Chain A
Amino acid sequence: MKPTEKDLTDFVVREARLIDERKFLDWLALFAEDGIYWMPLEWDQEEEHLTTSLLYEDMLLLRTRVQRLEGERTFSQKPKSRCQHLLQAPQIDSIDHDANLYQTFTPFHYAETRFDEQVILAGWARHSLSVIDGELKIRKKRVDIVNCDAPHRNIQLFI
C-alpha cells in the first residue's frame, strides 16, 4: 500500500474523532507496537529522554492510561471527562515511500471538560506514520501546546 495524501489526512482526522468518541481501544490500535505519544514541556524542545516532558509514553503506558480510564476506582474520572478536537486541515509535511515514513502537521484547538470546568488548549500535532501490514500506523505523535510551560490543571484525556 502506498498511501495517498487523502489517506494521510483522513487518518489524522479519524484519530481525533476516535478520542472524542472515547473509542480508546480503537484509538490504541492506530499505533505501531513501538509507537510513541509525546508532549514536550518546553517550546522547541528536541530532547526526548534527558529532560522533563509532559508526556512521553510507549504502548505499555498508553494501554495503562486507557485501562485506567474505565477503572472502578479511577476517582479523578468520576464523573468522566469529555473532550473535543477542532482540527485545521492536516498538512502533508513529507511523503517518503522508500523510507515508509509519512509526516503530517495539524494545528488544533482542544477542549476537555469535567464538572463545570473546561480547559481549552491550542497547539500543533505532528504525526509520523508508517504502513505496517497494509495499514497506516502511528510511529510517533508529537503534540505541542502553545502554552506548554503554563501552570496547567489536570489534562486527563488525549490531545
Chain B
Amino acid sequence: MNKSEIHALLRPAEVHRDVYTSQAVFQEEMKHLFRNAWIYVGHDSQVPNKGDYYSTMVGDQPVLMARHTDMTVRLMYNRCPHKGTQVVIDTNGNTGKFFRCPYHAWSFKTDGSLLAIPLKKGYENTGFEKSCSSKGMTTVENVKNYRGFIFARLNDSGQDFEEFFGDSLSSLDNMIDRSPEGRLEVVGSPLRYMHHCNWKMLVENQTDTCHPMVAHESSAGTVKDIWDKEGGDGPKPMAVEVILPFMSPYEFFEGMGIRTWDNGHGHTGVHHSIHSDYSMAPGYFEQMVEAYGEDRAKEILGENRHNTVYFPNMMIKGPIQSLRLFKPIAADKTLVESWIFRLVGAPDMLLERTAMYNRLINAPTSIVGHDDLEMYERAQSGLMSDGMEWVNVQRLYDENEADNPVAVYNGTTEAQMRNQFRAWEKFMTMSMGEAA
C-alpha cells in the first residue's frame, strides 16, 4: 500500500472499516507502524541476572531480550543466523554464558555476537566472513531501558525515544515513583487472553469512558446491587472498592478528564479517576514521606491517572501498577497480556490489590472482561456488514484539535482515539512510498 491509500482510510472523525478488518492493512501495520514506533518489549526485572532471557514478539517479529555479561539488557531477533531455527523456544530462562542453537550447535554471546561454530574449518576459503551469518544473531540497535521498562524501535531510522514519548513519560514516572525506592518488579506470569478482534479496538477501549456503565452493568451493577442491600455502613471489602467505580455516572467520567499528547499517547483521569478513592495501605504514606519528603510524596500520590495509552499497543495503570499489552496476531486476532508489578519497598497490601484488580478485570475468567470481549467481537463481525463502511469517532470533535496535540478535554471525548489515528497514519506512512 502507499501513502495515499492509507490516507484514504481516515477522515477527521471517521475510520474506514478496512483499518480493522483488512489483512492487507494489518500486514502494512507490521511492516511500517510496528517498526517505526517504539514498542514495549518487557521489564528488566524479568531478566535480573547475567544470562537471563525473555522471548516475546515485537509486532510480528520474534525477539529475545537478554541480560548481557556487562549487565545491560540486549535485544536480538530470535533466529539462528545459520538456518533460521529459533534459538530459544521457552519464554523465560537462563542460558548461562552463551546461547547455543539446538540444531547445529552454533553458539552466541548474550549480546548475539557469534561465539563459535563446530567444524569451523569447513568455512575456510568459502567467503563465509563476508556473509551476514558470520556476524551472529541480528541485534536490535534501538533499545531503550527507561527506568526498567524496555522499549525497542526495529527500524534503524526514525524518531528517538524521547521525541516519540515526550511528556507522556510522566505516567510511567508516576507509576515507578509510587515505590519508595523508585523501582518496580514484575510479579508472576501475565494473564493471557485471546480476542478475535482487531488490536486497535482494545486500545481504543482504554480511553472509552462511555462504555463502563453500559457494557459492565451486569458485573459492576450486580456488585452494587448486592452491596446496597447487604453492605451496611462498614468499610468496603477490597473487591467492592475496586469494582463499584465502574458504575459511576456519565458526569463522573466527564469530570475525570482526558489528556492527549503528541504521537498518539494519552490518558484518562486528569483530575480524578476510578482509582482515586482506594483506601490507603497502613504505613505507606510514611514510607513515601521518608523517601521523597512530604510535598513530593503528596504530589506523587495525588496523581490518580486512570488508563495511559502508550501508542500503539500498550496501556498502564499507575495507581494499580499494571500494564496491558495488546499483541497483534492478525487483523481479527489479538493476544492481550496483563502484567502486574510490585512497588519495591511498599506494603504488601498494595500488591494484593493489584493482583486482585488484575484477576477481577483482566482475566479470561473475569466477568468484566467477558462483556468487553463480547463487544469487540460483535464489532469485528458487524464491520463485515456492507451496510456502512465507516466507524464513527466524533464525540466532542473539534476541527482545530489536530493543531493542538497536547490538550486536556472533557473526559467523555473521543479525542484520544482520533489522536491515535493521526499517529497511526504518521507512523504507517513515514517509511512508505508516495502513490504508485
Could you tell me which A residues sit within 8 Å of B by CB distance? 39, 41-42, 47, 49-56, 58, 60-61, 63-65, 67-68, 71, 73-77, 149-156
A136 to B417, CA, bound (A): 53
Asked if B218 and A60 make an inter-chain contact with CB atoms under 8 angstroms apart, the answer reads: no
Q: Which listed segment binds A: B185-193, B262-270, B310-318, B393-401?
A: B185-193
Give the shortest distance, in Å, between A140 (CB) and chain B (any CB).
Answer: 16
* B411 contacts chain A at the CB level, 8 A cutoff: no
Residues 314-371 of B at the A interface (beta carbon under 8 Å): 335, 338, 340, 348, 351-352, 355-356, 358-360, 363-365, 367, 369-371
- Decide if B374 is an interface residue (CB 8 Å cutoff): yes
A115 to B337 Cα, complex, angstroms: 25
- Specify which of B191, B369, B373 is in contact with A41 (CB 8 Å cutoff): B191
Query: Are B365 and A55 in touch, CB under 8 angstroms?
Result: yes
Q: A67 contacts B222, CB within 8 Å?
A: yes
B237 contacts partner chain A, Cβ-Cβ < 8 Å = yes
Known: A49-B355, A50-B352, A67-B226. A73 touches B217 (CB 8 A): yes
Q: Are B219 and A68 in contact (CB under 8 A)?
A: yes
Contact A63 B226 (CB under 8 A): yes
* A52 and B223 contact, CB distance less than 8 A: no
Specify the main secondary structure of chain B where it touches its partner.
helix
14 of the cross-chain contacts (CB-CB < 8 Å) are A41-B189, A52-B188, A52-B355, A54-B359, A55-B363, A60-B226, A61-B239, A65-B367, A71-B218, A76-B218, A153-B373, A154-B364, A154-B369, A156-B370
A39, B375: Cβ atoms under 8 Å?
Answer: no
Within 8 A of A (CB), among B208-230: 215, 217-219, 221-223, 225-226
Q: A53-B355, A64-B367 are in contact. Are A75 and B189 (CB under 8 A)?
A: no
Number of cross-chain contacts by CB at 8 Å: 111
Interface centre among A73, A150, A151, A156 (most CB of B within 10 A): A151
- Chain B 91-116 interface residues, beta-carbon cutoff 8 Å to A: none
Q: Are B222 and A64 in contact (CB under 8 A)?
A: yes
**Bound complex: CA of A156 vs CA of B187, how far in Å?**
26
Given known contacts A61-B239, A149-B189, A54 and B364 CB-to-CB distance under 8 angstroms? yes
* Chain B residues proximal to chain A, CB less than 8 Å: 187-194, 215, 217-219, 221-223, 225-226, 237, 239-240, 335, 338, 340, 348, 351-352, 355-356, 358-360, 363-365, 367, 369-371, 373-375
The answer to whether A153 and B194 have CB atoms under 8 Å apart is yes
Cα A74 to Cα B193 with chains together (Å): 20
Provide the bound-state CA to CA distance between A53 and B338, in Å.
12
Whole-angstrom CA separation of A75 from B217 in the bound complex:
10
Q: A76 near B373 (CB under 8 angstroms)?
A: yes
Given contacts A64-B222, A73-B217, contact A49 B194 (CB under 8 A): no
CB of A42 within 8 A of CB of B188, answer yes
Contacts of A154 in B (CB 8 A): 364, 369-370, 373-374
Please give me the residue from chain A that is nearest to B327 by CB atom. A151
By the criterion CB–CB under 8 Å, are A39 and B365 in contact? yes
Residues from chain A with a CB closer than 8 A to the CB of B217 are 71, 73
What is the CA–CA distance of A50 and B187 in the complex, to the nearest angstrom? 8
- Tell whether, in the assembled complex, residue B218 and residue A68 are in contact, meaning their CB atoms are under 8 Å apart: yes
B222 near A71 (CB under 8 angstroms)?
A: yes
CB-defined contacts of A61 to chain B, threshold 8 Å: 239, 360
The answer to whether B365 touches A151, judged by C-beta atoms less than 8 angstroms apart, is no
Chain A residues near B348: list those with CB within 8 A. Answer: 49-50
Pairwise interchain contact A56-B359, C-beta atoms closer than 8 A: yes
Distance between A74 CB and nearest chain B CB, rounded to angstroms? 4
Q: Which residues of chain A are near B352, meaning CB under 8 Å?
A: 49-50
A75 vs chain B, min Cβ distance (A): 5
| CB-based contact B340/A52 at 8 Å | yes
How many whole Å from B31's CB to the nearest CB in chain A? 24
Q: Which residue of A lies closest to B188 (CB)?
A: A51
- Interface centre among B225, B352, B370, B375, by most A CB within 10 Å? B370
Contacts of A55 in B (CB 8 A): 359, 363, 365
CB-based contact B365/A54 at 8 Å: yes
Q: Which 9 pairs from chain A and chain B are nearest by CB?
A: A152-B364, A151-B192, A51-B188, A76-B370, A74-B218, A76-B374, A151-B194, A71-B218, A54-B365
B237 touches A60 (CB 8 A): yes
Q: Considering only CB atoms, which chain B residue lies closest to A72 in the complex?
A: B218
Q: List chain B residues, Cβ under 8 A from A47.
A: 188
Q: How far does the Cβ of A92 sit from chain B's closest Cβ, in whole Å?
A: 28
In the assembled complex, the Cα of A151 lies from the Cα of B326 at a distance in Å of 13
